Structures are given as C-alpha cells and as structure tokens.
C-alpha cells in the first residue's frame, strides 16, 4: 500500500488520512480511506456517484452530522478530529461546497469581513481596517474575474450555478488556505464557467498550497492538472496514479477499476 504516498519519503505530510471510517446516520460510507497530501500538491479524488467523495470533504472539514467511527485524520501533525469546523478553517482548510448555501440578507462583503476577521482573531491579530479589507476584497474579486457589484449581493441568493462556484473560489482566495478542497466544483458548469473557475484555482496554486479536487468527471482536470489521481469506490481508495489515470477513466469509466 505504498502507492498513495510514495511521492514523499519523509513523514511531513500536510494531511494524513489513515484508515478512515465514517458515515452518516449509522450508515458507514468511508470504509478505511488512506490518503496523504504533501505541501503544494494537487490531488484529484475521482469516483462514481455514491462512492463517498463528498463525505470525505465533509469529514475533513468536520461537519457534525457525519460521524467518524475509526481511523486517523491529521493536519500539519495535529489531530483534526479534536478540532471544531471553525478551528479547522483557521488552521487553513477550505472547502468549496458542491451546493453553496444561501444566507439571505447578508452581503458577500459582510460575510467575508466576518470570516477574515475571525481568522485574524484566532491568530491574535486585530481586525483588518475597513480600507485594508476593501482593498483585499477588490484584489481577490479581480483574481477570479468577479464584478465588484458582486460584493453587495446577498450570499448565494439568486446566483446562477456559475456565480455560486465562482463565489466559492473567490472566498478561497480571500481566506488563503493551506489546503483547498474542491467538492464537485465542476458540476453544473458550462465550459466557459468551468474555465473561469479553473483559472481562479490555477492562480491560487503555489508551493505552499495544496488542493484536493473531488470530481466525477475528468473535464476539470484538463484545466487543473493534478499531480496525483485517486479513485474512490464504495468507500475505499482502489487505485492511485498520476494524471494518466484520469484519462484512462475518461476512456473506460470507473467500471474496470477495482
């Protein structure tokens, strides 16, 4: 079982998942997942519907309706399972939601102000001054090609599918995570929107930032080239490889991979 981690010989993984078992409402979905993510790496997790891909993202970020029944989850050497969702966020984990949530009456500006300042507070830093915050906001909006009028809109209310996903990437840019998890960011996007989102992610790639790209299709991976590809099936990672694995899946589907 050294396939998943042979890219690194030392033990300095950013994220280490060992034999993770987890589920919801008593139903086990992840049945022993092993995964190691090094600094600056981009990992794609692919798999058919119901394989447990989104569960993996939910468990890493600490959604409380998901129960962990076994295994280990370590981030920068710390036990993630002992941390609240907001603490995991402060530590630098970001999840781009498959279905971003509406918060009526709350503007993107106020939402991001609360998020950015919460993170700063956790790090013992004072709130950003309004001017500094607005500068940051504008800069990051430009990065993902968002119109500045967007900042006044209510979080995800009345957004198109593409706008929602772009908003997720924008938030990721604002919060500058160490690990970005993209949960089916490509679902429901047309090619143009997909490309815009991918450009945003690529702009955020750096040796200091890792990504887990959860996807059903190989399409997104044409725009964001992963370093590693893992196939998740029935709650287990059944195959590890490089970008060529994604292409093989595109040709033959998940059927043949066991």
Residue 189 tokens read as 């996007």
Smallest gap from residue 206 Cβ to another protein (A): 20
Nearer to another protein, 179 or 245 (CB): 179
Nearer to another protein, 104 or 131 (CB): 104
Exactly one of 3, 114, 125, 142 binds another protein (CB under 8 A); that residue is: 114
Cα–Cα nearest to 133, from 145, 144, 119, 146: 119
User: CB within 8 A of 97, min separation 6: which ones?
Assistant: 168, 183
User: CB within 8 A of 6, min separation 6: which ones?
Assistant: none
Nearer to another protein, 209 or 239 (CB): 209
Q: How many DSSP H helices and E strands does the chain contain?
A: 8, 12
- Residue 115 binding another protein, by CB under 8 A: yes
Residues 158-197 that bind another protein (CB under 8 A): 171, 175
Pairing, β 154-155 against β 103-107: antiparallel
- Residue 55 binding another protein, by CB under 8 A: no
- Residue 125 binding another protein, by CB under 8 A: no
Residues 56-95 that bind another protein (CB under 8 A): 61-65, 84-86, 88-90, 94-95
Pairing, β 154-155 against β 15-24: unpaired
> Do residues 243 and 221 touch, judged by C-beta distance below 8 A?
yes
Question: Torsion over CA of 214, 219, 224 and 230, rounded to 10 degrees?
Answer: 40
**Residues 76, 25: Cα–Cα separation, whole Å:** 29
Nearer to another protein, 89 or 196 (CB): 89
Smallest gap from residue 112 Cβ to another protein (A): 8
Smallest gap from residue 171 Cβ to another protein (A): 7
Which residues of this chain interact with another protein, rule CB under 8 A? 61-65, 84-86, 88-90, 94-95, 97, 100-106, 110-111, 114-115, 118-119, 122, 154, 171, 175
């Amino acid at each position: 079982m050294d396939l998943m981690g042979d890219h690194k010989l030392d033990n300095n993984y950013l994220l280490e998942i060992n034999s993770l078992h987890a589920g919801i409402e008593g139903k086990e979905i992840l049945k022993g997942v092993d995964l190691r993510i090094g600094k600056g790496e981009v990992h794609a997790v692919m798999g058919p519907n119901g394989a447990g891909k989104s569960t993996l993202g939910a468990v890493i970020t600490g959604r409380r309706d998901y129960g962990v029944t076994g295994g280990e989850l370590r981030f920068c050497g710390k036990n993630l399972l002992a941390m609240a969702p907001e603490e995991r966020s402060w530590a630098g984990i970001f999840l781009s939601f498959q279905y971003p949530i509406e918060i009526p009456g709350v503007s993107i500006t106020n939402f991001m102000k609360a998020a950015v300042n919460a993170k700063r507070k956790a790090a013992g830093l004072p709130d950003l001054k309004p001017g500094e915050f607005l500068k940051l906001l504008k800069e990051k909006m430009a990065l993902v090609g968002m119109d500045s009028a967007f900042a006044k809109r209510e979080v995800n209310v009345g957004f198109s599918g593409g706008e929602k996903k772009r908003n997720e990437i924008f938030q990721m840019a604002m919060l500058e995570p160490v690990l970005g998890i993209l949960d089916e960011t490509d679902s429901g996007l047309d090619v143009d929107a997909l490309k815009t989102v991918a450009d945003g992610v690529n702009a955020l790639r750096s040796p200091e930032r890792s990504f887990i790209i959860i996807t059903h299709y190989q399409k997104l991976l044409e725009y964001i080239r992963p370093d590693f590809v893992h196939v998740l099936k029935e709650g287990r990672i059944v195959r590890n490889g490089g970008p060529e694995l994604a292409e093989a899946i595109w040709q033959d589907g998940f059927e043949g991979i066991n």
